[in-house]
Chain A
Amino acid sequence: MKNYIQQRRLIFFTDNKIKLSIYFAWIPIFCSLLYSCDSFVDVDLPTSQLTGNTVFENKNTANAALVNVYAQIRDNGLITGKPTGISNLLGNYSDELTFYGTDSNAAKDFYNNTIIASNTTVAGWWNNTYKQIYAANAVIEGVSNNTKLIESDKNQLLGEALFIRALLHFYLANIYGNIPYITTTSYQTNAVVSKKSVSEIYSEVINDLQKAISLLPSNYITSGRVRPNKSAVQALLARVYLYDNRWELAEQTASLLINNTNLYSWENNIDKVFLKESTSTIWQLMPSTAGKNTDEGNLFVFTSGPPTLVALNNELFKAFSSDDLRKTHWIKVVTNGTSTWYHANKYKQKSPTGTSVEYSIVMRLEEQYLIRAEARVYLNKLEEAKEDLNKIRNRAGLQNTTATTTENLLQAILNERKFELFTELGHRFFDLKRTANLDNFLSGTKPGWNTTDRLFPVPDSELRVNPNLLPQNDGY
């Protein structure tokens, strides 16, 4: 400013020929100098954005913030049925799938068990999942601090967000081992967060799930079982208890589901289990648009060989007993005359249909029977355990189990889980891991397998920016 005044004086005093009229020429510049400083550079909020605090003042926008998390879970991260999700990658990593893709495909390193700390897919799992957790926490904080929502809407949103937070942490802990449990949106806190042990994570998970149970209604709030209810939370809780070796609680919680016959009934027709109306479904993810089917179907189904990405492992196919209905109904054989390949055919739709036929199932009743069977073996209720196991076997057209001892029964359950839950969200890998069977099953069949492969590496990009996450898992 000084410059301009000085300049004005110079003109005025050094050249007295200047007429007063010329002085007016300065007006536009001086006016702008003096009066208009702040207003010009203020901009309106962009039309496509809402401010953070207004989102949670309204039921519809708060709901939109929450369903975004489901869409995220469906489309990326761990639970997605896309090739980057655990259904595909843990299937390759363990003994469920054979890899047919090119060298540059992300699944190759999973199939070869040559994951390194800088693997971008493993980093993607981590980052996407914590992003989903952030969004869940933002709902929890936004809803908790808000007085404009009615109590029931608040409880619904809170309960679902707590469930999501627990679910994602549970998967992370099983993949990465010790991890941080994130309960706030504060980046100052989250940037320097430290790891917790898996058992600490489980108690946080259980804590969140119990809160969610108290908040959520028994019935689904919408048709299609695409939003979790109280039972969905209990189903996950039963699984957590099983993984945490808390047999009694696992049995009790699984029984809650199994006894809830109003909502869940046994699907006797094996071809109907993966349809969107299936009565054994506890929670499923809805496709983005009407007419679309599952990403899993799109991923696994192929009509002519050789496959371009993955096929079902030949050994897995051979392991099925020949009269197992799952072998004929949930697996499809593709041949070109000289070679034969198999693909998972649980979800049968590769492409969109007029109206959607299948949704991606995250939890179903059959798993609850298997959870209870296993818990009951440990509780020494062998006969009851067999009943649960036979329920699964009989539907598949198989005779009752011949196992009688604890050890044999556990083996039979592990085996049954392999046949019942194959290519579903990494069940096989997690089962081998929690029963300390990874080396037994994979050392012989997978040339790249090492004991330390039981845990995935914390992404090294993450360790670089937060040293509190050190040490790296063994083997990386």
Chain B
Amino acid sequence: MNYFSFYKDGRALYCLIFTGILLSFSSSFAKILEHSHTSFLHQHTVEGIVTDGTSPLPGVTVTIKNKINNVCITDFNGQYSLVVSSNDTLVVSFIGFKKALIPIQGRTKIDIKLQYDTTTLQEVKINAGYYSVKESERTGSIAKITAKDIDKQPVTNILSAMQGRMAGVTITQTTGIPGGGFDVQIRGTNSLRADGNQPLYIIDGVPYASNSISNNNISSIIIPSSNVSPLSSINPSDIESIEVLKDADATAIYGSRGANGVILINTKKGKEGKTRFTINTNTAVGNVTRYMNLMHTDQYLEMRKEAFANDGIVKYPAAAYDVNGTWDQSRYTDWQKELIGGTAQINDCQISINSGSAHTQFLVSGNYHNETTVFPGDYKYKRGGANFNLNHQSADNKFKINLSSSYSSQNNNLPATDFTREARSLSPNAPALYDTSGNLNWENGTFNNPLRSLEAVYKANTANLIANAILSYQIIPELEIKTSIGFSDLRYDEIRTSPSTIYNPSLGLGSESSSLFVNNSNRESWIIEPQLNWNKKIGHGKIELLAGATFQQQKTAQLVQEADGFASNSLIYDLASATYLYVFTNQQTQYKYQAFFGRANFNWKDRYIVNLTGRRDGSSRFGPGNQFANFGAIGAAWLFSKESLLENKILSFGKLRASYGTTGNDQIGDYNFLDTYSSAGNNYQGTVGLQPNRLYNPNFGWETNKKMEIALDLGFIQDRIFLTTAYYRNRSSNQLVGIPLPGTTGFNSILANLNATVENTGLELTIRTVNIEKQNFKWATNLNLTAPKNNLIAFPQLENSTYANQYVIGKSINIQKVYNYIGLNTQTGIYQFEDVNKDGKISSPDDRQTIKDFSPKFYGGLQNQFNLKRWQLDFLFQYVKQENWNSISMLGLPGGLSNKTIEVLNRWQNPGDTGPYQMYSSGTNSLVTVANNLYANSNAAITDASYLRLKNISISYNLPENSLKKLKCRISLQGQNILTFTSYKGADPEFIVSGFLPPLKIYALGLQLIF
């Protein structure tokens, strides 16, 4: 049957053309039909304004009963105009309001006042990816935020706009540097593989690989773990909504890629109405949220001198410049203020044009964002982008086409090193940064000036294109054929320079020692998803069927080079000027993916709903014979509030829903099943070495994730109180992991399936209340709370595996085994630890048996919204209950040549002292240094890092329109990360890798003009 396999590599194009032809015919066919439907009765125009009683409502749909094709959307001033017959009835509908039916009775001007209807919140359509579903009929677990919430936040990356707003979603920003990454987890850590817990991102139907393509050699010293988020390409104000799919019912249709949840990002679309210009501008300033409380010079020098005295060292070592008289001991510099205490300037501007008739709508927008850093020096992050969206439907509404494309370009210019670590560790009496003539001061070669890093730069240019087209044709009212075609192209070019001027001049290095590191990466993918949709009402029942297929291909190319030795440092950006050129990596990888999916939804009387979804997936990441796997789920809902027995005034909505199903995970990298050699990038005797790529295992297969959920949705008093409670249980088994191996194998891991099962359970609670709703005043509250639990429930042969000292059955997989600190020996002044195996010494792993869990205990957010006439106030508190490493574990040995937090002033000095911190040492007392290191790896170094943070506050005011004619103007003041309440002693409690800049505190002033 191979003659028909046009899906082979490259031939999927034929499929695209074929579908295109099919659909283009259908459109012309549609036109013919249109004429036969048009009737020519006696008609006139009716117009008017739709309001909510106080202000006009744009975007309201006005139609005529039984004449579906006659549609008008109110413009910005709430005005509508329609050609009607005098005995028609207007149907006026708008989300959040009661539908109004108004007989025309020959009138030509009708002003309409709509009544608020909270219960219609149930009517909101939720996007579930391949289909959408009414909120009330939803069987799965889907959280959503909309532009309304995103626009209030002065954020650069949309992921930070989601923080604290959704139950079951944890988002940690890994750095305050623009372009940096986020750690996102939906319902906990499923995989033992650290990089196997990312959700699937879908932007307007196009899967978007979220893993960084930055190279470790180039960016790891400025961006933690080189985690550069490709999602920074997306301008948050272009986003209409973000939906997070959490349970099996919602994610199983994404099959192998749904295990960690799915994040659907939808950009803004054109709307019907008069041409409307929207201009948004924002100016903001950003600062570090918190500093560490470090020692002043006198405290520091006292510590250093005492340390040497304790060590019995009278003559200070030659390199102890801070105390041996080389450096001025009366100097004091607050290095945190000096190096990370600057103010970042952030500017944003966006213009969009929206217009549309009943059949064609478009949106064009352009945006520009720039941002400086809190570091010294002139660094800037810039992003510019354009968005285009076009919707068209044929006159009979049978053929629809939706085109979206967005292009953005980012330019990130940063110092090559994050100054945070040095800002916290430099001696407070270190010399001045510049000498009297304004040059970098190396203090005769004794001072490793932190500003040397200004000489080295990190530059990244990103270009990102996402385009997609959705074509659909309604063959008969019940049946629709649809194809979604998407393309994405991410180019990431980064360089880091390392000029000779970053080195101490006493090394005598010239430009022959300068280096340039270059990474040119490109990731492009295309996807085609033909689908068929069938809906039918049969009596009290409703059936929806969906079938579809996915063909996706992703190609990644990466070229990483190092260039050494330049004739002059001014030629450092020129590869051709380098004396030596090394190629680290030059690879092209390919990922192909194919799937068939389907959904069947049965709805009886809008009370009993069953939803079946399934997918068969094949991925090129698995070896022959292991490429395909099946996934599926069943979801069910019972709207018990519609049962006549339970119908009453208080309970406006009640739904019990449950789901169970399987999803998978193929985040394992490409080609891992192959035994291959590739160039090592090094050279010996003029030959480039070949090195084994990996220990290989051709037999690994899919890991499965079984998800179960039970949830209860309750609405009271016309849904003014709306409560969602969900219990979930996800179990990941047949874990596909890089099993850690001892170094004696030559590698540190091998990819294989592990018969271990990780369970994530949790309780999610969301409460939405409208506390006060008056004509001019409204107060609403949203609360979300998640209490997760992670548990390794099975791991046969754990004690004989290489994980024996890492995991414990019955405990979370986020645990670490540490030493048990049992207090200070008040006689010797040295920390003491429990000798678990009683062998007389404290050593790993036998004595490292105390378990500390780093998973959050609970987390959530509390949002309040107030509307008072033209004023709006909105604020969000985010809270996390967790433990993390404290500052003592990060700053090294008290007494050494680096600053410390003032906590360690409470140290042991004389027998009988209780500390709590041990005696100082300059680093030569091995008992003290060893004990300090054990302490840094003990339960004493892990403290509460819970926090309550005023994540966002936004105040806005709408200027009265009368004074400005047709111009609508809103002024807003916004803040991000404004206040942090925590008992955490380090800097910011939100971090994953210490020593990098934490998220910034941002104040923004915004102006919106619409005309």
Can you name the residue of chain A whose Cβ is closest to the Cβ of B750? A187
Least CB distance, B598 to chain A, in whole angstroms: 5
Name the contact of A64 in the complex, choosing from B580, B586, B688, B924 (C-beta under 8 A). Answer: B688
> Which A450-464 residues have a C-beta within 8 angstroms of B?
450, 459-460, 462-464
Judge whether B844 and A41 touch: CB under 8 Å.
no
Q: Which of A132-140, A319-327, A369-377, A404-412 forms contacts with chain B?
A: A132-140
Q: Quick check: B691 and A68 within 8 Å, CB to CB?
A: yes
- Could you tell me the distance between the alpha carbons of A226 and B508 in the complex, rounded to whole angstroms? 30
User: Least Cβ distance of B679 to chain A in Å?
Assistant: 7
**Bound complex: CA A67 to CA B545 (Å):** 61
Q: Are A351 and B678 in contact (CB under 8 A)?
A: no
The interface size bin for chain A is 35 or more
Asked if B579 contacts A352 (CB within 8 A), the reply is yes
A114 touches B743 (CB 8 A): no
**CB distance A350 to B508 under 8 Å?**
yes
Distance between A237 CB and nearest chain B CB, rounded to angstroms: 24
Q: Does A150 contact B (CB under 8 A)?
A: no
* In the complex, chain B residues whose CB is within 8 Å of the CB of A42: 592, 620, 624
CB atoms of B924 and A447 under 8 A apart: yes
Tell me, yes or no, whether B547 is within 8 Å of chain A by CB: yes
Q: Please determine whether A464 and B806 come into contact, CB atoms closer than 8 angstroms.
A: yes
Given the complex, which residues of B lie within 8 Å of A460, measured CB to CB?
Answer: 843-845
A227 and B686 alpha carbons, distance in the complex (Å): 13
Q: Mark B457-478, 1 if CB is under 8 A from A, else 0.
A: 0000000000000000001101
Do the beta carbons of B589 and A351 come within 8 Å of each other? no
Is the CB of A398 closer than 8 A to any CB of chain B? no
* Minimum distance in angstroms from A91 CB to a CB of chain B: 16
Binds A, one of B199-207, B227-235, B311-319: B311-319
B121 proximal to A (CB < 8 A): no
Say whether A217 faces chain B, with CB atoms less than 8 Å apart: no
Q: A11 to B476, alpha carbons, bound, how many Å?
A: 12
Q: Is B83 an interface residue (CB 8 A)?
A: no
Instruction: Pick the contact of B587: A17, A48, A126 (CB < 8 A).
Output: A48
**What residue in chain A is nearest B678 (Cβ atoms)?**
A49
Q: Which of B448, B479, B579, B924 has the most chain A CB atoms closer than 10 A to its own CB?
A: B924
Q: A37-B618, A447-B311, A472-B843 are in contact. Are A306 and B318 (CB under 8 A)?
A: yes
Q: How far is the CA of A108 from the CA of B600 in the complex (A)?
A: 66
Q: Are A191 and B802 in contact (CB under 8 A)?
A: yes
A427 within 8 A of B: no
Does any Cβ of A come within 8 Å of B543's Cβ? yes
Please give, as numbers and ranges, the residues of chain A lying within 8 Å of B545 by CB-CB distance: 7, 10-11
Task: Mark interface residues in B433-447 (1 if CB within 8 Å of A CB, else 0).
Answer: 000000000001110
Q: Could you tell me the distance between the alpha carbons of A17 and B4 in the complex, rounded to whole angstroms?
A: 30
Contacts of A127 in B (CB 8 A): 743, 748
Q: Given the interface contacts A18-B476, A351-B510, A352-B579, does A50 sit within 8 Å of B685 by beta carbon?
A: no
B509 proximity list for chain A (CB < 8 A): 351
Q: Are B444 and A50 in contact (CB under 8 A)?
A: no
Kindly provide the distance from the CB of B506 to the nearest chain A CB, expressed in whole angstroms: 4
Closest chain-B Cβ to A114's Cβ sits at a distance in Å of 4
Bound-complex Cα distance A108 to B921 (A): 14
Contact of A68 (CB < 8 Å), options: B446, B590, B689, B747: B689
Task: For the complex, give the distance between the alpha carbons of A470 and B565 in Å.
Answer: 46
Which partner residue on chain B sits nearest A28 by CB separation?
Answer: B530
CA separation between A222 and B612, bound complex, in Å? 70
Contact present for A450 and B926 (CB under 8 Å): yes
> Does A147 sit within 8 A of B, measured CB to CB?
no
- Bits for B841-867, please: 1 = Cβ < 8 Å to A, else 0: 101111000000000000000000000
The answer to whether A308 touches B448 (Cβ under 8 A) is yes
Q: Does B797 contact A (CB under 8 A)?
A: no
Residues of A near B319 (CB, < 8 A) are 99-101, 306
Nearest Cβ in chain A — how far from B891, in angstroms?
A: 10
- Whole-angstrom distance from the CB of B49 to the nearest CB of chain A? 43
- Asked whether A464 lies within 8 Å of B676 as measured between CB atoms, the reply is no
Contacts of B684 in A (CB 8 A): 67-68, 70-71, 74, 226, 286, 288
A7 near B745: Cβ-Cβ < 8 Å:
no
Q: Report A102-118 CB contacts with B as 1/0, cut-off 8 Å.
A: 11100011001110111
Is the pair A187, B614 in contact by a Cβ cutoff of 8 Å?
Answer: no
Interface pick from B236-244, B397-405, B929-937: B929-937
Judged by a CB distance under 8 angstroms, whether B770 is at the interface is no
Contact (Cβ within 8 A) B741 A302:
no
Assuming the contacts A190-B742, A463-B844, A469-B742, asked whether A51 and B620 have C-beta atoms less than 8 A apart, the reply is no
Q: Which residues of A contact B689 (CB under 8 A)?
A: 64-65, 67-72
Known: A3-B547, A180-B744, A352-B512. A49 touches B580 (CB 8 A): no
A310 to B841, CA, bound (A): 33
In the complex with contacts A43-B592, A464-B844, A304-B445 CB distance below 8 A: yes
- Please give me the residue from chain A that is nearest to B512 by CB atom: A351
Whether the pair B926, A307 counts as a contact (CB closer than 8 A) is no
The complex places the Cα of A70 from the Cα of B684 at a distance, in Å, of 7
Interface string of B819-854 (1 = CB under 8 A from A): 000000000000000000000010111100000000
CB-based contact B479/A39 at 8 Å: no
- Does B805 sit within 8 A of A, measured CB to CB? yes
Residues of B within 8 A of A193 (CB): 742, 744
Tell me the chain B residues, 598-616 only, with Cβ under 8 Å from chain A: 598, 600, 612, 614, 616
Residue A20 at the B interface, CB < 8 A?
A: no
Shortest CB distance A146–B (Å): 14
Q: Which of B5, B547, B923, B937 is close to A36, meaning CB atoms less than 8 Å apart?
A: B5
- B593 interface neighbour in A11, A41, A68, Cβ under 8 Å: A41
Question: Residue on A with the closest CB to B448?
Answer: A102
- Minimum CB–CB distance for B9 against chain A, Å: 8
Distance (whole angstroms) from the CB of B418 to the closest CB of chain A: 14
Contact (Cβ within 8 A) A191 B481 = no
Min Cβ gap A30→B in Å is 9
A305 touches B685 (CB 8 A): no
- Residue on A nearest B599 in the bound complex, by CB: A3
Task: Verify B506–A138 contact, CB threshold 8 A.
Answer: no
Contact B674 A51 (CB under 8 A): yes
A33 cross-chain contacts in B, Cβ below 8 A? 549, 596
Residue A441 at the chain B interface, CB threshold 8 Å: no
Do A191 and B742 contact each other (CB < 8 Å), given the known contacts A67-B684, A70-B684?
Answer: yes
| A401 beta carbon closer than 8 Å to chain B | no
- Binary CB contact string for chain A from 180 to 201 against chain B (1 if under 8 A, 0 otherwise): 1010010100110100000000
Asked if B892 is at the interface of the complex by the 8 Å CB criterion, the answer is yes
Rounded to whole angstroms, the CA-CA distance of A50 and B675 in the bound complex is 8
* A112-B594 contact in complex given A35-B1, A101-B319, A127-B743, C-beta closer than 8 Å: no
A window 34-68: CB within 8 A of B: 34-53, 55, 61, 63-65, 67-68
Any A CB within 8 A of the CB of B504? yes
B926/A289 in contact, CB under 8 A: no
Q: Which residue of A lies closest to B585 (CB)?
A: A48
User: In the complex, which residues 315-357 of chain B have their Cβ closer than 8 Å to any Cβ of chain A?
Assistant: 318-319
Q: Please tell me if the beta carbons of B5 and A41 are within 8 angstroms of each other in the complex.
A: no
Contact of B924 among A114, A116, A126, A289 (CB under 8 A): A114
- Other A-B contacts than A116-B929, A304-B508, 7 sampled, CB-CB below 8 A, are A42-B620, A49-B674, A70-B685, A289-B580, A291-B579, A466-B802, A472-B843
Q: Could you show 20 A-B contacts with beta carbons less than 8 Å apart?
A: A22-B475, A22-B479, A32-B530, A32-B549, A48-B679, A61-B677, A71-B682, A71-B683, A103-B425, A109-B929, A116-B929, A116-B930, A130-B745, A131-B747, A190-B741, A193-B742, A304-B506, A447-B312, A460-B844, A465-B802
User: Which residues of B come within 8 Å of A, CB atoms?
Assistant: 1-2, 4-9, 12, 15, 18-19, 22, 311-313, 318-319, 425, 444-446, 448, 475-476, 478-479, 481, 503-510, 512-513, 530, 532, 534, 536, 538, 543, 545, 547-549, 551, 565, 579-580, 582, 586-594, 596, 598, 600, 612, 614, 616, 618-620, 624, 627-628, 670-671, 674-680, 682-685, 687-693, 695-696, 740-748, 750, 802, 804-806, 841, 843-846, 892, 896-898, 923-926, 929-930, 933, 937
Can you list the 10 inter-chain pairs with the closest CB atoms, starting with the nearest?
Answer: A134-B746, A68-B689, A460-B844, A303-B508, A71-B682, A127-B743, A465-B802, A49-B676, A464-B805, A52-B675
